[in-house]
A and B are shown apart, each in its own frame.
Chain A
């Protein structure tokens, strides 16, 4: 019975909403914007992946085409890791514009990820981008607030609230009904949009989808659904607790601004202010200093490398490195690579730790702010978040290390210490280095990483239920 009444109220709200011409225009406009968002996301995705694939392929061909040569020269010839987008990034760009698209992987040297979209843009980029997720996360909540600010407050102003309560409808039914009513208006926009998204998403992958990606898509849609319902409930609660609809409107606009514009930027800025990250110069020179402490393989008199040399000569009972049964400089480079990459990784860990501290601030605020929780979650699901990027870079680095050491191993094995033979090996060896392939993080590890956001969204649901309950007891009709 009570549900029936709530549905009746919901239907009433929905019908009257569409009598309002402004609502109609806004809905139409948001639909157009969604179409634009999906189309540009699509174009962006295909551009990114086609380019990435093309050059990944080309660079592989180039690698294999190399003639017989010294493996160390091949280690300097190097490989590339090109970043590819996941299918969900059509709808959620996340941090993609700020990600470097290519890392050059060579011996001795950890290169930066270069060619980010941001590096090629002017400051216009910093206003943000239009993506489906942005429409869902920023614009739809505002539409919900526009629809909902007078849902109860206007009835109070008109005096109809008293009429409703005298007809035996209690507050709980009224609040639930109004929430459902706003939700049903929003669903008229959201549901068809989701259908289109799913269709496009299937189309992009030629209807062959993996289980992992399907789960991510379902979660993406599911969490956005919950997120929008949250805002419907917030709108109704605020409207019910304000004396006039004007007050409700101003409060809701305030909430929206704080949630979507002011808090995200402020918290991240504070995080970055408190935990200052080192500059690149400092980072690199610290690494260099540490490597020098360990020993400089380029310095012939370095004690670390001299000790290695002496012990090798002793073990193999020879008097010069030229007489060793394997390639000496290959051996030294293996050692050097091991030391330098260990030191690099240690410094990188420290740096990433600072970044995580910076991010922790806004992560903590995501408990207060469902927008940040939703944003973090949707970026994680589409693998366009901070963690995915760091993961990509780490995988690229480990590929680089393996490649360099593989080339060193070939040198140790096949290259002679004497200068009489040409120091080259057969080109067939090049294929022994596998092509770089990156598999984005799976749904489980994504969820584990974003557990704070998931908890935050669920706590918001619980909180709103409690608030509706409390409000039902304390609200007055007059």
Chain B
């Protein structure tokens, strides 16, 4: 019986077209992911080459003045792109994956954006997460919306009902076949992905896979519930499409608009004005004021005293430091606001499976705001480390040639934060149950009638 039902399903033209469409577009999404990966890798290789040339060139031009040299020299920190990232590009196209900074004030540098075509950003990436989130549900709806209603409308349902002693199991079989075929399809795509994109078979890929399966099951649960209401095909199609529209377009968009308006970030502009003034006004102030503040921050340099010359690099970097120090409050407020934003959207997302899946997949792929915030934190630490290393050398005007410049390689930040399995899986499980149980009851109740 099951074999027959399967043959019937797989032989239908619509099924074939649907499955092929999804497989092909899934494959395209992998190619796009691959291109993204190659671009990221190239970017990082280039950053390394560039930094090396850049330092050598500048060190030979400005060999007499350490302070002047470090005015120019940029050091890069890379936000590591994991192979899994190509499946869920997330915000990685918006945010730069390489931060190149000089040891001057950080606040004026750390928000520098990536070069981008806004049209690409607006329409979004055709990555695997898009295929999973948007297109799988459509196919699920197309495969299931008429599961009982079609047979009722064509009059074959009575035959089915008389030939099978348990119509509910028959319906379950129909669902199982569809579920299986889509899970097989998902597995094929992810398997291809692992090979094509060199994704290691590790727990992160497994979690990604499990979330994807739960997401697919969620949509089957939705369809199962709607089908259990036993309305006609047109009603099912309309209502399922409306649900899709709600979960994929209207609710996420409405919530996003809400969050953007609820947590505006004027701090960003405030910060950028503040750091500009804090640094520049020091040029017109008494050197002692600046130096005192500087030594309060870094007492270890106190013995350099107050420079007597009209201009000195000690004073210059102290002024630069003030740009950061005096805008630290705004900077912290901004980070705080962004964390709130992220927290609020994650909390709300738990109640909307589509959003939740998107955010979780991006979290596993390290391509969401959380990763970006961590990267900014690391950039700060990276910058501070360089500062502390070079400050005494500048203040002593150490010989440029004596420094081993080749040791300043591009550094990499690896986001190893673990995903909380319960947090990512439970909401999806809950929604699955929430739909399957009443659907089941509906079928049971109606079985006598059928």
Chain A, residues 27-67, CB within 8 Å of chain B (1/0): the string is 00000010011001001100100011011001100100011
Given contacts A59-B273, A73-B283, A138-B249, contact A124 B345 (CB under 8 A): yes
A299 with B61, Cβ < 8 A, contacts A47-B264, A116-B94, A118-B121 known: yes
A126 partner, pick from B72, B124, B153, beta carbons under 8 A: B124
Are B280 and A362 closer than 8 Å at their CB atoms?
Answer: no
Within 8 A of B (CB), among A83-121: 94-95, 97-102, 104, 111-121
Is B177 positioned at the interface, with any CB of A under 8 Å from its CB?
A: no
Of B5-13, B168-176, B250-258, B387-395, the one contacting chain A is B250-258
Give chain A nearest CB distance to B85 CB in angstroms: 12
Least Cβ distance of B73 to chain A in Å? Answer: 12
Distance of A119 Cα from B114 Cα, bound (Å) = 10
Q: Are the C-beta atoms of A123 and B90 separated by less than 8 Å?
A: yes
Kindly list chain B residues whose C-beta atoms are within 8 Å of the C-beta of A410.
Answer: none
B18-58 interface bits toward A, Cβ cutoff 8 Å, 1 = contact, 0 = none? 00000001000001100100010011001100100010010
Binds A, one of B190-198, B208-216, B237-245: B237-245
Determine if A245 and B119 form an interchain contact, defined as CB atoms under 8 angstroms apart: no
Interface contact B238-A146, CB-CB below 8 Å:
yes
A206 part of interface (Cβ distance < 8 Å):
no
Q: Is the CB of A121 within 8 A of B91?
A: yes
Q: Is A345 an interface residue (CB 8 A)?
A: no
Instruction: Answer whether residue A358 sits at the interface, using C-beta atoms and an 8 A cutoff.
Output: yes
Shortest Cβ distance from B126 into A: residue: A269
* CB contact under 8 A between A121 and B260, given known A104-B108, A281-B98: yes
B349 at the interface (CB under 8 A from A): yes
Interface residues on A, range: 35 or more
Of the listed stretches A186-194, A272-280, A325-333, chain B binds: A272-280
Contact check, A122 vs B370: say whether CB atoms are below 8 A apart. Answer: yes
Nearest A residue to B255 via CB reads A124
**Which residue from chain A places its CB closest to the CB of B123 in the assembled complex?**
A268
What residues of A have a CB within 8 angstroms of the CB of B342 in the complex?
122
The verdict on B368 contacting chain A, using a C-beta distance below 8 Å, is yes
A115, B272: Cβ atoms closer than 8 Å: yes
A294 at the interface (CB under 8 A from B): no
A250 within 8 A of B: yes
B117 at interface by CB-CB < 8 Å: yes
A97 vs B277: C-alpha distance in the bound complex, in angstroms? 28
Q: A295 within 8 Å of B by Cβ?
A: no
B50 touches A249 (CB 8 A): no
Q: Is the CB of A358 within 8 A of B245?
A: no
Closest Cβ neighbor of A359 among chain B residues:
B119
B135 — which chain A residues lie within 8 A by C-beta? Answer: 262
A273 and B341 contact, CB distance less than 8 A: no
Chain B CB within 8 A of A389 CB: yes
Instruction: Find out whether the CB atom of B122 lies under 8 angstroms from the CB atom of A98.
Output: yes
A80 contacts chain B at the CB level, 8 A cutoff:
yes
Which B residues lie within 8 Å of A298 (CB)? 61-62, 72
Scan residues 225-271 of chain B and give those whose CB is less than 8 A from a CB of chain A: 233-234, 237-238, 241, 245, 248-250, 252-261, 264-266, 268-270
Which of the 9-residue segments B156-164, B296-304, B324-332, B355-363 touches chain A?
B355-363
Could you say which of B31, B126, B134, B248 has the most chain A C-beta atoms within 10 Å of its C-beta?
A: B126
Residue among B54, B91, B113, B130 making CB contact with A113, cutoff 8 Å: B113
Chain B contact residue count (CB 8 A cutoff): 92
Q: Are B118 and A95 in contact (CB under 8 A)?
A: yes
Compute how far the CA of A70 lies from the CA of B272 in the bound complex, rounded to whole angstroms.
23
Closest to B29 in A: A269
A269–B270 Cα distance when bound, in Å, is 36
Would you give the shortest CB distance from A156 to chain B, in whole angstroms?
15
In angstroms, Cα B42 to Cα A276, docked, is: 12
Stretch at the interface among A127-135, A175-183, A231-239: A127-135
Q: Which residue in B32, B57, B112, B238 is a CB contact (below 8 Å) of A111? A: B112
Docked CA distance A81–B331 (Å): 20
Q: How far is the CA of A22 from the CA of B232 in the complex (A)?
A: 15
A119 x B95 contact (CB < 8 A): yes
Chain B residues in 8 Å Cβ range of A299: 61
User: With an 8 A cutoff between CB atoms, is A78 at the interface?
Assistant: yes
Which residues of chain A are within 8 angstroms of B358 by Cβ–Cβ distance? Answer: 123-124, 126-127
Among residues of B, the one whose C-beta sits closest to the C-beta of A51 is B266
Given the known interface contacts A114-B113, A117-B260, A264-B123, the answer about A58 and B130 at a Cβ–Cβ threshold of 8 Å is: no
Closest residue of chain A to B115 (Cβ to Cβ) is A280
For the complex formed, measure the closest distance between the CB of A286 and the CB atoms of chain B, giving whole angstroms: 10
Chain B 340-376 interface 0/1 with A at a Cβ cutoff of 8 Å (1 = within): 0110011001000001001100100001111010000
A290 touches B (CB below 8 Å): no
Minimal Cβ-Cβ distance residue in B for A419 = B310
Q: How far is the CB of A362 from chain B (nearest CB, A)?
A: 7
Tell me the complex Cα distance, A36–B358, Å: 24
Pairwise interchain contact A55-B269, C-beta atoms closer than 8 A: yes
Interface positions of A from 256 to 305, Cβ below 8 Å from B: 257, 261-262, 264-266, 268-269, 271-273, 276-283, 285, 288, 292, 296, 298-299
Q: Classify the secondary structure of B's interface with A.
A: helix
Q: Is there contact, CB below 8 Å, between B284 and A358? A: no
Residue A253 at the chain B interface, CB threshold 8 Å = yes
Tell me, yes or no, whether A355 is within 8 Å of chain B by CB. Answer: yes
Does residue B125 face the partner (Cβ distance < 8 Å to A)?
Answer: yes
Q: Are the CB atoms of A272 and B273 closer together than 8 Å? A: no
Contact partner of B115 among A245, A257, A283, CB < 8 A? A283
In the complex, chain B residues whose CB is within 8 Å of the CB of A78? 276
Q: Is A77 an interface residue (CB 8 A)?
A: yes
Which of A115, A125, A351 makes the CB contact (< 8 A) with B111? A115
- Judged by a CB distance under 8 angstroms, whether B96 is at the interface is yes
Q: B113, A351: Cβ atoms under 8 Å?
A: no
What's the Cα separation between A140 and B133 when bound, in Å?
23
- Contact partner of A269 among B39, B123, B338, CB < 8 A? B123
Q: Which chain A residues (303-344) contact chain B, with CB distance < 8 Å?
A: none
B86 interface hit (Cβ, 8 Å): no
Q: Are B261 and A285 in contact (CB under 8 A)?
A: no
- Contact residues in A for B446 (Cβ distance below 8 Å): none
**Is the beta-carbon distance between A268 and B43 smaller than 8 angstroms?**
no
A246 touches which of B94, B118, B234, B258 (Cβ 8 Å): B234
Q: Report the separation of the CA atoms of residues A128 and B145 in the bound assembly, to the nearest whole angstrom.
A: 27
Q: Is B412 an interface residue (CB 8 A)?
A: no
Q: Taking the complex as formed, is B81 at the interface, i.e. its CB lies under 8 A from any CB of chain A?
A: no
Q: Is B116 an interface residue (CB 8 A)?
A: yes
Q: How far apart are the CA atoms of A389 and B94 in the complex, in Å?
A: 16
Cβ-based interface call for B183 (8 A) = no
How many angstroms between the C-alpha atoms of A127 and B62 in the bound complex? 50
**Within 8 Å CB of A116, what residues of B?**
94, 113
The answer to whether B138 has its CB under 8 Å from any CB of chain A is: yes
CB <8 Å contact, B32 and A269 = yes
Q: How far is the CA of A389 from the CA of B122 in the complex (A)?
A: 13
Within 8 Å of chain A (Cβ to Cβ): is B120? Answer: yes
Given contacts A115-B268, A269-B126, A280-B114, 6 further A-B contacts (CB under 8 A): A22-B238, A66-B280, A95-B119, A114-B111, A276-B39, A277-B115
- Ordered by A's residue number, 14 sampled pairs between the chains whose C-beta atoms are within 8 Å are A51-B266, A67-B284, A78-B276, A99-B118, A104-B108, A112-B114, A115-B268, A119-B95, A122-B346, A124-B255, A281-B98, A285-B46, A355-B117, A386-B119
B residues with CB within 8 A of A: 25, 31-32, 35, 39, 42-43, 46-47, 50, 54, 57, 61-62, 72, 76, 90-91, 94-96, 98, 100, 108, 111-126, 130, 134-135, 138, 153, 233-234, 237-238, 241, 245, 248-250, 252-261, 264-266, 268-270, 272-273, 276-277, 280, 283-284, 338, 341-342, 345-346, 349, 355, 358-359, 362, 367-370, 372
* A residues apposed to B, CB below 8 Å: 22, 33, 36-37, 40, 43-44, 47, 51-52, 54-55, 58-59, 62, 66-67, 69, 73, 76-78, 80, 82, 94-95, 97-102, 104, 111-130, 134, 138-139, 142, 146, 149-150, 245-246, 249-250, 253, 257, 261-262, 264-266, 268-269, 271-273, 276-283, 285, 288, 292, 296, 298-299, 351, 355, 358-359, 362, 386, 389
Closest 8 CB pairs of A and B: A127-B252, A269-B126, A122-B369, A268-B123, A355-B117, A98-B121, A95-B118, A115-B268
